[in-house]
Structure 1
Amino acid sequence: MATAVTDPPTATAKPAFTGEFTWVDPYTLVVDPFNHRHHHDNEEDTTEPDAELIASVEETGVQSPILLRPQPSGAPGNEVLGIIYGQRRHKAALIAADKAKAEGRPYFLLPALVRRDLTNVDDEALALSVLENKQRTDPHIRDYIEAARQLSLMDAPPAAKERHARITGLTRDEMKAAETATKLSPESLADAIAADFDLLELADYQEVEQVPGARTRLRQAKREDQSDGNGRRGHWAQALSKLRQHKEEMAKRVALIADLVSADITMVDWHPTWRDTKLHPLEDLLDQHRKKITPTTHAECPGHAASIDPSEPEVTWLCADWAKHGHTLTKAAARDTPTQQAEEERAKRREVIANNKAWRAARQVRHDFITNLCDAPGDAPDAIWKFTLSTILGTLDTYSSHISRHRTDLMAQFLKIADPNEGQAWYSRVDAPFGTLISRTGKTRRWRPLFAQVAAAYEHEAMSDRAWRDDIRINTVTWLAFLKERGYVLSDLEGEVLVNGLKQHKGRTPRPRHS
């Protein structure tokens, strides 16, 4: 039986838009308010024509049409046209026309395309302006920021905003970043532009703008990334995570102070040592019965006061004049001079606080990197397959311990799905938590849940808050070494842990143990 043959559908051509070509007098035009290129004080005006363009226009006129649309300010019968794009050509035409008029010669009209369909359609006009100018002499990054701000304020449906992003040539993330960057103060924006931050970096900077030294730290991180030459932002991510942590601590400190003020608690300045002051922390004091004093038992004392530790947003409770109010010092606090052991303990505590904070700040960066690894297209590289299978099929206690806990939270996070056991008690956990994911995962992506589970095992079992301390486990070294090989930029502390761990394990090659 013969099979019917159908002809392929006939392709037809259609115009991309409707417009009218015309010649216009350059003296009659205005710049459309939604033309996204503007001159910024103390910065190069990128709308100015160069000498070569001016010479060309003087000789042959403008050869490429500019884009215009009618302006709402035009009176009936006296239409005013505004420039959506083509400011440089317009300015060159004006300069050439001024010269021709001064010499008594006729001047050239401007070729133009008039888009009457864009009348009062401001979002489309702005998007087209961004698109055209992006392909010519670089507009200032401020122009992109301002354009994104204007587009974000316009009442347009999501589909239109998606179209704007496609037209402008900016990614969705860049459009969103540009909107965020508009919240930077003028001073911070100028500093960040001088540091050559791109749109995504400007948005990151805005998030931590109020943290002292943020721009300097991010600029240094950007230079380190550029020096690495791999196109990644690893140093930037580590610096940003620390700045976010600092911002959170600043907010906690402000909240603590507000609580203390509202409770009418006397606030005093912090001292690294209270030995030479009338003040002393309550932990160093005893009451008249030689019992330890607590903030609750001390609340009625006239010397009840508090101070905020600058290294950690925590309240230190004190008595403002412990001797006057009948308190005595503990034996440890009563020593005339602190012992070397006490000084070493204080130094160790400061180190622990600082390193715990640094370790936690790096954790989020590391988790983001792992999530991106799990989201890579296609099949896994050989190195990931070998590491994953070596872990699963080996005798690694990190993996077996993790499996016995039946945790699914981190694995779900790395796969960017909801935790199927969130809120469930241990005894009522889902039997096949990733069944739906497995059934929908194609052959070339089946490595993802396996690697996500292995990564979760290492993160839970080998990267706890204590993992950086003196006795560094080989599994911690193994995991950091693997991530570094995959392109992860170690934080300063992670780098120290890897180096010290390799020394402790005598250069032993960090890899999962096989059975």
Structure 2
Amino acid sequence: MDTTMNLIHVSPSELTLVSNIRDAKASDDLIASVREHGLLEPINAYRDDNNDLVVKHGHRRTLAAVAAELDQVPVIVTSAPADDLDGKTDLIAAQWDENQQRQNLTTREQAETIAQLAAFGISPAQISKRLRVDRSTVDAATTMTDTDTLDRYDLTITQAAVVTEFADDPSAVETLVRAASTGQFDHQAARLRQQRQIAEALADARAQWEAKGVTVLDGWPAYDSKDEWVDRLVDNATGQDIVIDPDDPGEHVAVRLDADFTTVLTATGKPVDPYELFEDDDHERPEDAVTRSQVHEELIVQTRWYCDNLAARGWRNRWSPTPPAEPTEADREQMRAERRDVIAANKAWLAAEQVRRDWLKTFCARKTAPKNSAGFVTATITTSPHLLSADRLRGERENYLTIPSTEGMSTPKATMTSLAMCLIAHEINTHKGSWRHIDPRTVSYLRFIEDQGYALSPVERRACGEHVDTEQL
């Protein structure tokens, strides 16, 4: 490619302006300055196949020179852009750099520039490299369906793409926009996606039951109701437990649907109590113990049958004729509040967990460790060495870190790798119950990543010992 560069003087009217990534406009101040002092910095241009001078850098200066009626302007003539799509993609990338340096592009202009390059068939990886923006921003800009969001709210491109996901839910949009100003955007987005998944699962299940002619119970029955859950009933004549045929439940029976992310055995899909799990390297665990590596979280729709007329079905409560005293309304409200809190905290933890682990993957890719990392690494090695020897660490670390040969590894890289291993060891030691039982090791881990720029969600702050109300989760 010809890389020669010549300085010439030509009339600004002889210069050709091509489509710019923003609507180039010369401000009144710029025009006045050019009229008084002339053009102090040359315009950069190249000659096209017709030998016309095409502006590469300096669109606004060219327009100002024309408006100021200058006879001549200095022009540096350089080689034409690479011959891909008539040089348009190289030209757009060059204009991106010039505009970002001189007068920052708005986020909308940035998104539309990225989308324009994608329309030319440039791959996301190439766009990311040419414009020096991260891949997540490129992906968001190329999939965004409503760039007007960038005009309405003060958001990044990636945040605006998320907001457009929830355009049909004004309340969710309001929540996300508010969270963007508090550093909680990613956490709120994870929670909203989680809630949407749950709502969709319930809607699908409801449609299936109603298609069978089964009544779906709305809400919870009143506490003073004379009706009862079927799993508490027996047959009057035989005393046997009642078993409902889901294909033909019969009269006076409705189904209650609930959906939540539940800890299940990977091998069978059977729910297990997450608070009764053991670590894989716990040598004192019982023979039939379930370990954390044997389970995963899964969205489960649960059903519970309800009968609104026990006498008509010939059923009765299996409890003794003299059951314990009924709880007071205050007791009931406390139990309801505790249940709401557990459900909300569990959901919040699972949503935060994904955000935190995504952040950790990015952090572990750093080339050098933060200056304050030595103390954290030392504390982990001296007080919690078993975390680094856990069987799960060897399997999980590949999700966060690629460790090349340690032979000849530089000191900064070795230090960062040691820190990453300690962080991963702490991360896999967390679980859905971490918010309920305060573990000093988890507190140390969460506070450390908070110091590195990670925004703790409310449930993670509760795991650190802070008081967080249910409504804040």
Per the normalisation by structure 1, the TM-score is: 0.64
Summarize the Cα distance change of 1:52–1:386 in structure 2 as closer, same or farther, 3 Å threshold.
closer
Residue 445 of structure 1 is aligned with which of 377, 396, 413? 413
Q: Look up the match of 1:357.
A: 347
Distance 2:451 2:139 in 1: 36
Contact residue 268 and residue 307 of structure 1 kept, 8 A? yes
The yes-or-no answer on 1:171 pairing with 2:157 is no
Q: Look up the match of 1:464.
A: 431
Q: CA deviation at 1:350?
A: 1.6
Residue 10 of structure 2 is aligned with which of 20, 23, 32? 23
Contact residue 393 and residue 425 of structure 2 kept, 8 A? no
Q: Look up the match of 1:497.
A: 463
Q: Secondary structure at the match of 2:143?
A: coil
Q: Secondary structure at the match of 2:10?
A: strand
Contact residue 181 and residue 206 of structure 1 kept, 8 A? no
Q: Look up the match of 1:56.
A: 33
Distance 2:124 2:450 in 1: 40
- Which amino acid in the other structure matches residue 466 of structure 1? G
Residue 128 of structure 1 is aligned with which of 59, 79, 94? 94
Summarize the Cα distance change of 1:472–1:59 in structure 2 as closer, same or farther, 3 Å threshold.
closer
Q: CA deviation at 1:343?
A: 3.9
Q: Look up the match of 2:103.
A: 137
Q: Look up the match of 1:44.
A: none
- Which amino acid in the other structure matches residue 195 of structure 1? Y
Q: Look up the match of 2:250.
A: 301
Q: Look up the match of 1:247.
A: 193
- Which amino acid in the other structure matches residue 458 of structure 1? H
Q: Look up the match of 1:147.
A: 113
The yes-or-no answer on 1:195 pairing with 2:141 is no
Distance 1:163 1:402 in 2: 37
Instruction: Please show how residues 41-190 of structure 1 align to structure 2 within 5 Å.
Output: 47-59=24-36, 62=39, 64=41, 66=43, 86-93=58-65, 95-96=67-68, 108=71, 117-118=80-81, 120-156=86-122, 161=127, 164-165=130-131, 170-173=132-135, 176-186=136-146, 189-190=147-148
Q: CA deviation at 1:144?
A: 1.6
Q: Look up the match of 2:373.
A: 384
Distance 1:160 1:487 in 2: 28
Q: CA deviation at 1:352?
A: 0.9
Contact residue 301 and residue 325 of structure 1 kept, 8 A? no
Return 5+ residue gaps in structure 2 as ranges. 262-298, 468-473
Q: CA RMSD in A?
A: 4.6
Contact residue 127 and residue 164 of structure 1 kept, 8 A? yes
Q: CA deviation at 1:140?
A: 2.8
Q: Look up the match of 1:348.
A: 338
- Which amino acid in the other structure matches residue 197 of structure 2? A
- Which amino acid in the other structure matches residue 271 of structure 1? G
Distance 2:419 2:79 in 1: 56
Summarize the Cα distance change of 1:114–1:305 in structure 2 as closer, same or farther, 3 Å threshold.
farther
The yes-or-no answer on 1:270 pairing with 2:240 is no
Q: Deviations over 1:55-83 (max 9, x none)?
A: 234446655555667899xxxx9x98776
Summarize the Cα distance change of 1:293–1:256 in structure 2 as closer, same or farther, 3 Å threshold.
farther
- Which amino acid in the other structure matches residue 345 of structure 1? M
Distance 2:442 2:125 in 1: 47
Distance 2:202 2:259 in 1: 12
Distance 1:486 1:143 in 2: 31
Q: CA deviation at 1:357?
A: 1.5
Distance 2:397 2:246 in 1: 47
Say which is worse superposed, 214-223 or 130-139, in terms of deviation.
Answer: 214-223
Residue identity over aligned pairs, in percent, reads: 22
Distance 2:46 2:226 in 1: 76
Summarize the Cα distance change of 1:184–1:456 in structure 2 as closer, same or farther, 3 Å threshold.
closer
Distance 2:419 2:446 in 1: 15
Contact residue 278 and residue 320 of structure 1 kept, 8 A? no
Summarize the Cα distance change of 1:496–1:406 in structure 2 as closer, same or farther, 3 Å threshold.
closer
Distance 2:417 2:42 in 1: 55
Summarize the Cα distance change of 1:404–1:49 in structure 2 as closer, same or farther, 3 Å threshold.
closer
- Which amino acid in the other structure matches residue 171 of structure 1? V
Q: CA deviation at 1:150?
A: 1.5
Contact residue 242 and residue 358 of structure 1 kept, 8 A? no
Q: Secondary structure at the match of 2:433?
A: coil
Q: Look up the match of 2:22.
A: 37
Distance 1:447 1:290 in 2: 68
Distance 1:324 1:85 in 2: 86
Distance 2:243 2:4 in 1: 77
Contact residue 279 and residue 318 of structure 1 kept, 8 A? no
Summarize the Cα distance change of 1:157–1:496 in structure 2 as closer, same or farther, 3 Å threshold.
closer
Q: CA deviation at 1:124?
A: 1.6
Contact residue 359 and residue 493 of structure 1 kept, 8 A? yes
Q: Deviations over 1:150-208 (max 9, x none)?
A: 2123234789646632xxxx3343xx51452353343xx43444432234444554566
The yes-or-no answer on 1:408 pairing with 2:397 is no
More strand by share: 2
The yes-or-no answer on 1:326 pairing with 2:282 is no
- Which amino acid in the other structure matches residue 203 of structure 2? I
Distance 2:74 2:227 in 1: 81
Distance 1:277 1:108 in 2: 92
Contact residue 118 and residue 142 of structure 2 kept, 8 A? no
Q: Deviations over 1:24-44 (max 9, x none)?
A: 564x877523x1003xxxxxx
Q: Secondary structure at the match of 1:139?
A: coil
